Structure 1
Amino acid sequence: MPDVIRWTGEHTLSATVVVTPRGVAYADAAQDAQGRDRFGVLWQLCGGQSTGRPAYAASLHPARQKAAMEDLRCAVCTVPADRDASGMRWVLPLPDDVTPDAVWEGVRTSVPPLCALHADSAPRLCPRLREGHGRAEGSGGS
């Protein structure tokens, strides 16, 4: 089971969003601090328990997604993602208007990278990736 998948026992927390002179923020300072990554990006908050069934159709679990992206860890097993001369390995769901043979140069994503084992197995096992996916390699930098 991919680490970044949300479970049916988990839910989005309601938090009031405000616009400040510094940008978008949660009105509650503690929620705002909890929701930001080390680059200052504001992420959605999630609560509940990792129980029930995997919610493949839901968005990824924001805290686990954020941790995998910050540390460039495999979205499935959390080991450091593989890197070779071409860069990190990403297997990304295809947007509706993109074909599998499209050039993925300069793509930015919020989907964490994968290790070699899961870069090969994820397209077969993940319902969303079975609908269509592309492979991308890159630096993993910001």
Structure 2
Amino acid sequence: MKVVYRFLFALQLFVGIGAIGGGMMAILNPQGPGGMPADALKNSPFNNYLIPGIILFSVIGLGSIFSSVMIYLRSKFIGYISSVFSWALVIWIIVQCIMLNAVVSLHVIFFIIGLVEAALSAAILFEQRLFPANIILRFYKRMKE
């Protein structure tokens, strides 16, 4: 189980650092962060990258960093915390693909990273026998009898 915690820590830290960098680029240069033209947002409710940059920086970036710190500190709620930010990443990528009306390799990579983080978070919840794992395990035990 130690490997699960370490791998989840590394993934959350990697995502957090990248999202803070990407979010900061969008906040500092909302018209074209990293060479991305504002025209790409024509199918979205935004006319520049400021609001998406703030969301990327705060929710995905700081949230993932917070989650990695909680893993390091061995919080008893880490299964829940990391799950929330893992699914936030998955939802972020889906919404981003819809708004940009495009799917590129980075979208696929970070979508998979989000799903892996969610699976590792679920493994922690099962190990700790926390909700919903406790209900699933109880139901499974009754079905076996």
Give the TM bin, normalised by the shorter chain: under 0.3
Whichever structure has more helix as a proportion of its residues is: 2
TM-score between the two structures when normalised by the length of structure 2: 0.24
TM-score between the two structures when normalised by the length of structure 1: 0.24
Whichever structure has more strand as a proportion of its residues is: 1
